[in-house]
Amino acid sequence: MPNILYNQIAMKQKFGKMRILKYKPGDKVKRYDFKRKPLRPYLLMWLIHLIVWFKVLFRRHKVYRYGNKPKRPCLILASHAAFNDFYMLFSAVKTYNINYVTAIDAFYDMSTFLMRIIGAICKRKFISDMSLMKNLKYCTEKLKSVTVIYPEARYSLDGTTSYLPESNGKLAKFLKVPVYVFKLRGSYVSDPQWNKYKQNRMPMEGDMIEVVSAEEVGKLSAEEINERINKAFKYDDWQYLKDCGNILTYKERATNLNAILYQCPHCKKEFEMVGKGTTLTCTACGKIWDMLENGELKARDGETYFSHIPDWFAWQKQNVHEEVFSGKYSVEEECEVFTLPDSKGFYHQGKGKFIQTSNGTTLKINLYGEDKTIEYSGTSLESVHIEYNYKGYGDMLDFSIYGDSVWMHPYRKDFITKVSLATEEIRELHNKNIKK
């Protein structure tokens, strides 16, 4: 059994700003109770709206409405790129009666007490959860609230639409309320997760789109509703940056861009890219790109290949697709393992292994003194949540299991973005095989 009884001060130094809890063999691990009913968030909403007003005061923010104004109860599906999204949401929905789904790590960041009294509904990412469905129904039927979900279930990786689950249409039919899409522009490019440079004066815009009315939700099929949602959700924040003539003045704007652009289009090598200052360099072949103030990339010499960052990202995604569908995809990586059973803090579980092939995903870890092998079939993982340099410690993969969240820190540079892409491709491959 690995030694996880660290001195508290040493743990803080070793694991960045992560809050690591002590565990003794035989201790009962407290787990979050997802059956707790959400609260009607009247108490502090006046303060939330005041903070939001101050946060967007200098952002020249605008909200455009298409269709009827959201009236409770209703369901809003919102795009997710940065913490600014929450400010824009509350500036667009002028109600004190709002509930929204939030991952358990946000409860860890802000405290369960605070998150609950401002209307948050806790869940684990990318896992089927009947308690969540019941709580969403409770919000729309009993609390009559505006209920908000971020269906991408994570921050956008490249500033365009991330993976959208096929269950959105079914959820709308289950809740029997009007459905809106709230799509943001300017949030990602001013605060990307791989850099977090926070250009706080850059304008932000949002589209509040009614995609299914109260009359239509009972008549349309889940597939028809899903099609409308997917169509309304399309966005490209880098194109918005260029179209509006905004500029990235930050002198470190390309720093860590290698986190999402991990493969060189010139020599095809992976994990050899380095973003620093305003340049992106391949250390394998020496090719250099400059990141311009409008967000475009330009090669110092020779062909640029991809000037538009989402095009480079899409090329990588296609390469992963071909690797997975050909059956050649296979990775095995040693990782540092942590668990988050409740919102109080993480437990360090020592070292483990992450294994992924075209057939599925396997975690070989130690959980509270017991060796475990956790296997995900090709269809059981919709996607995987990733964090770049989480709490100053390093990149993280986040997997949900029954009663717990397993966070894994792989040692390989820029590894997590490819894993995220591969997980989605593996599911697509196996879903297609089932339909044959």
The 3-state DSSP class for residue 179 equals strand
In a domain, residue 19? The reply is: no
CA distance 404 to 19: 16
Q: How many domains does the chain have?
A: 3
In a domain, residue 30? The reply is: no
Q: What is the DSSP letter of 269?
A: -
Q: What is the DSSP letter of 312?
A: H
Looking at the structure, tell me whether residues 168 and 238 fall in a common domain: yes
Lowest mean pLDDT segment, chosen from 8-17, 136-145, 403-412: 8-17
DSSP states of 344-358 = S-BEEEEEEEEEEET
Residue 131 belongs to domain spanning: 45-243
In a domain, residue 362? The reply is: yes
* Residue for token pair 């009947």: 130
Looking at the structure, tell me whether residues 378 and 403 fall in a common domain: yes
Share of the chain above pLDDT 70, in %: 97
> Considering 188, 212, 243, which residue would you say is the last residue of a domain?
243
Looking at the structure, tell me whether residues 62 and 208 fall in a common domain: yes
Looking at the structure, tell me whether residues 108 and 238 fall in a common domain: yes
> What confidence score (pLDDT) does residue 197 get?
79
CATH code, domain carrying 339: 2.30.29.30
> What confidence score (pLDDT) does residue 435 get?
67
pLDDT digits (tens, 9 = 90+) for 62-83: 999 999 999 999 999 999 988 8
Task: Report the alpha-carbon angle 63-65-71, nearest 5.
Answer: 105
Indicate if the pLDDT at residue 418 is higher than 70. yes
In a domain, residue 145? The reply is: yes
Question: Phi-psi region for residue 400, left (φ > 0), alpha (ψ -120 to 50) or beta?
Answer: beta
pLDDT digits (tens, 9 = 90+) for 382-408: 889 999 999 999 999 999 999 999 999
